[in-house]
Amino acid sequence: MRTQLRSDTSLLEFWEATRLSDDARYPDQAEPTAGTDEAIRAALAGVLGHGCGQRVGTVLAKGGTFVQARTTPSAGALYPFEVLVGLSDGERCVSYLYEVDSGQLNSFSSAPPVPLAELVAQAGLADVEPAPVRAVITLVARPWTSMAKYGRRGYLYTYLDIGHAATNLALAARAAGLEAAIHLRFRRQWLAHALGLAGTCREPQAVVTITAPEETSTDRPAADPPADGDGVVTPVWRDRRQARLEPPGDPERRNFEALRDISLAYAPAAVARPGRIVSVTEPPPPADVSADVVLRRPGSVPGDHAALAVLRQSAKGFLPAAVSLDQLAGLLEGLDGQLAADFAESAPAGVGVRVVARAVTGLTPGAYAWSARRYALQPAGGGPVEEEDVLATCQRQDGLRHAGALVLLHTPLRSLLREQGRAGLAEVHFHAAHVAQRMCVNAARERVGITCVGGFDEAHAARLGRLPRGGEAIYLLAVGVADPAARKVDRDPVAYSHGRKAAGLI
Ligand SMILES: Cc1cc2nc3c(=O)[nH]c(=O)nc-3n(C[C@H](O)[C@H](O)[C@H](O)COP(=O)(O)O)c2cc1C
């Protein structure tokens, strides 16, 4: 979604925009705010571009219109979030709004006039890495963007969308030689006020803090900004251009108010537990290990996140063909990879990974629990899986009919909500999105078609996947041989099946 920009100097901007040289298009680019660290700005622009920026191509969005494609998936291509970036100018924190659609980082004047370290401390962004924080990336949900189409379920999609983006930003940062930590247990209300978001129907859902390890000290000369042309648009810093957020209308206000009992924005922050998280839980050990299907671990996995981020995309449909067992093995690679985060509980948290094989060469159809530790699929029962099972599970989304496998990310949600309340809801959806994003990147490497699916029937999914008692699928991925000729249609019936009966409802 394009955020509205206003400027006092529209004539000047028009003039600048009509000139042909790059210097003329971005005249302020050469004059960064005094004191800002050029090296970190250059590195961060690349991280933002690869983490959640534009990639080549367009995708179908609301009302049958096409929008610029991005490096992370989004339910209905609605991207119901905004990205605020805080940096230090030497004395205080300066903020930018990352306008993904225009590839610009525009100065955002609502930022608090405090040093970056103070913002980090006041917002309760726990120390996860030993080095000082160099940048704070706040992923701000605008729930109405998704809820206007998907009703209440749309709020969960904001968690998933933001989870994909936060994960991908962390992976892109690591690929660029920086460290990133994910924060979900911070003082949301404080940060919302500090960033000038109060009354805008937006909530900071996740923060990614960026640190630079000693050996990649940014005291060295500024690195060249990552080149465009690798398929991702590297955003441009614009210090003199002021961005403002689109103000909410009445339906959005009413909708936001109705989230009071669900949103973490209105609850005290859970106690931060800095450490490393793994988002995949291990299934209980099987009674008969000999029945396991042990997969071949991919040899040396190229860790070129930058190249893969560009290639990631959703399959719009699948061909009636099988995927290979090695492709499935590649898809499941590294799902237990760690991320630095502030919700590293001592008890294992995360989601179970259940594979429902329909057409995978060399694998008997049925349900399997994935053990990342043993790199093995544990048979969980079930027999042949029909196209009809896929359709019934995926809200009759016809493009998914020929999926060779469904991957269910599941958890005993009701007991988790009883024990952990809203924080549990937010964190388990982050875990699901973390696993899903790694699968999306793997799929790009393995050239397997993949579609993240939010529109699925939980009861069918639980039966098909033979989920353990109390287990519920909270996210689903369809996997298969992508049909390059397939075209997506804007499926309002799916949106309606999520509870939307008339416009303006939550
Ligand atoms: C939370 C979530 C739910 C989604 N649900 C569906 C779905 O039910 N059906 C579908 O075909 N695609 C679904 N998608 C994929 C989006 O349609 C896709 O990401 C979007 O169109 C952008 O295209 P791209 O992934 O190729 O960039 C979902 C994506 C996300 C992140």
If 0-12 CB within 10 Å is exposed, 13-18 middle and 19+ buried, where does residue 292 land? middle
pLDDT of 506 = 38
Contacts of 15 (CB under 8 A, 6+ apart): none
The span from the CA of 313 to the CA of 483, in Å, is 12
Distance from residue 72's CA to the centre of ligand 1 (Å)? 9
The residue type found at 110 is S
Our CA angle for 87, 70, 401, nearest 5°, is: 145
> What's the rounded mean pLDDT across residues 233-244?
90
Distance from residue 122's CA to the centre of ligand 1 (Å)? 36
pLDDT digits (tens, 9 = 90+) for 309-334: 999 999 999 999 999 999 999 999 99
In the predicted model, what is the mean pLDDT of the chain? 89
Q: Is the pLDDT of residue 30 over 80?
A: no
Nearest-atom number in ligand 1 for the CA of 400 is 11
Residue with tokens 């509205």, as numbered in its chain: 4
pLDDT of 13 = 62
Q: Are strands 275-278 and 133-141 parallel, antiparallel or unpaired?
A: unpaired
424, 418, 438: which is closest to 345 by C-alpha?
Answer: 424
Dihedral sign of CA atoms 63, 64, 70, 71 in order: positive
Assign 429 a pLDDT band (cuts: 50, 70, 90).
Answer: very high
DSSP state of 185: S
The span from the CA of 426 to the CA of 203, in Å, is 13
Distance from residue 300's CA to the centre of ligand 1 (Å)? 30
The span from the CA of 251 to the CA of 261, in Å, is 18
Least confident of 53-67, 167-181, 365-379, 421-435: 53-67
pLDDT of 198 = 92
Tokens at 93, concatenated: 């924190």
H-helix or E-strand spanning residue 306? helix 305-311
Q: Is the pLDDT of residue 2 over 50?
A: no
The residue whose CA has the least distance to atom 19 of ligand 1 is: 73
pLDDT of 348 = 74
The residue whose CA has the least distance to atom 7 of ligand 1 is: 453
pLDDT digits (tens, 9 = 90+) for 181-231: 999 999 999 999 999 999 999 999 999 999 998 755 444 444 444 455 578
Assign 495 a pLDDT band (cuts: 50, 70, 90).
Answer: low
Assign 498 a pLDDT band (cuts: 50, 70, 90).
Answer: low
Tokens at 132, concatenated: 């000082």
Distance from residue 435's CA to the centre of ligand 1 (Å)? 15
Nearest-atom number in ligand 1 for the CA of 399 is 11
Residue with tokens 């560009």, as numbered in its chain: 310
Instruction: Tell me whether domains 10-266 and 277-497 share a fold.
Output: yes
Q: Is 126 helix (H, G, I), strand (E, B) or coil?
A: coil
Q: Is 81 helix (H, G, I), strand (E, B) or coil?
A: strand
Nearest-atom number in ligand 1 for the CA of 456 is 8
- CA distances in angstroms from 56 to 69, 70, 218, listed in the order given: 6, 8, 30
Distance from residue 477's CA to the centre of ligand 1 (Å)? 10
Structural domain boundaries in the chain: 10-266, 277-497
Distance from residue 76's CA to the centre of ligand 1 (Å)? 6
pLDDT of 240 = 82
Nearest-atom number in ligand 1 for the CA of 157 is 1
Strands (E), 53-171: 54-60, 66-70, 81-88, 93-99, 104-107, 133-141
Dihedral sign of CA atoms 146, 150, 155, 159 in order: negative
Distance from residue 266's CA to the centre of ligand 1 (Å)? 29
Tokens at 123, concatenated: 């917002």
> Which of the listed residues 452, 456, 460, 492 should we mutate to test ligand 1's pocket, taking the one with most ligand atoms within 8 A of CB?
452
Q: Is the pLDDT of residue 232 over 60?
A: yes
Cβ(207)–Cβ(191) under 8 Å? Answer: yes
Cβ(409)–Cβ(432) under 8 Å? Answer: yes
Distance from residue 88's CA to the centre of ligand 1 (Å)? 35
pLDDT of 458 = 94
Cβ(146)–Cβ(155) under 8 Å? Answer: yes
> What's the rounded mean pLDDT across residues 35-51?
90
Distance from residue 199's CA to the centre of ligand 1 (Å)? 29
Q: Which residues line ligand 1 (CB under 6 A)?
A: 59, 69-70, 73-75, 77, 157, 160-161, 164, 313-314, 397, 399, 451-455
Q: Is the pLDDT of residue 504 over 50?
A: no
Contacts of 276 (CB under 8 A, 6+ apart): 338, 339, 340, 341, 344
Q: How is 24-35 classified by DSSP, letter by letter?
A: HHSTTTTSPPTT
The span from the CA of 249 to the CA of 271, in Å, is 35
N-term to C-term CA, the chain: 20
Dihedral sign of CA atoms 451, 292, 466, 425 in order: negative
Q: Is 193 helix (H, G, I), strand (E, B) or coil?
A: helix
The residue whose CA has the least distance to atom 28 of ligand 1 is: 75
Region 10-266: CATH code: 3.40.109.10
> Which of the listed residues 318, 453, 474, 497 should we mutate to test ligand 1's pocket, taking the one with most ligand atoms within 8 A of CB?
453
DSSP state of 296: P
The residue type found at 279 is S
State what percent of residues in the chain have pLDDT above 70: 85
Cβ neighbours, 10 Å, residue 118? 13
Distance from residue 73's CA to the centre of ligand 1 (Å)? 6
Assign 300 a pLDDT band (cuts: 50, 70, 90).
Answer: low
Using left for φ > 0, alpha for ψ between -120 and 50, and beta otherwise, residue 162 falls in alpha
- The domain made up of 277-497 has a fold known as NADH Oxidase (3.40.109)
The residue whose CA has the least distance to atom 6 of ligand 1 is: 453
pLDDT of 503 = 44
pLDDT of 222 = 41
Tokens at 251, concatenated: 């339906």
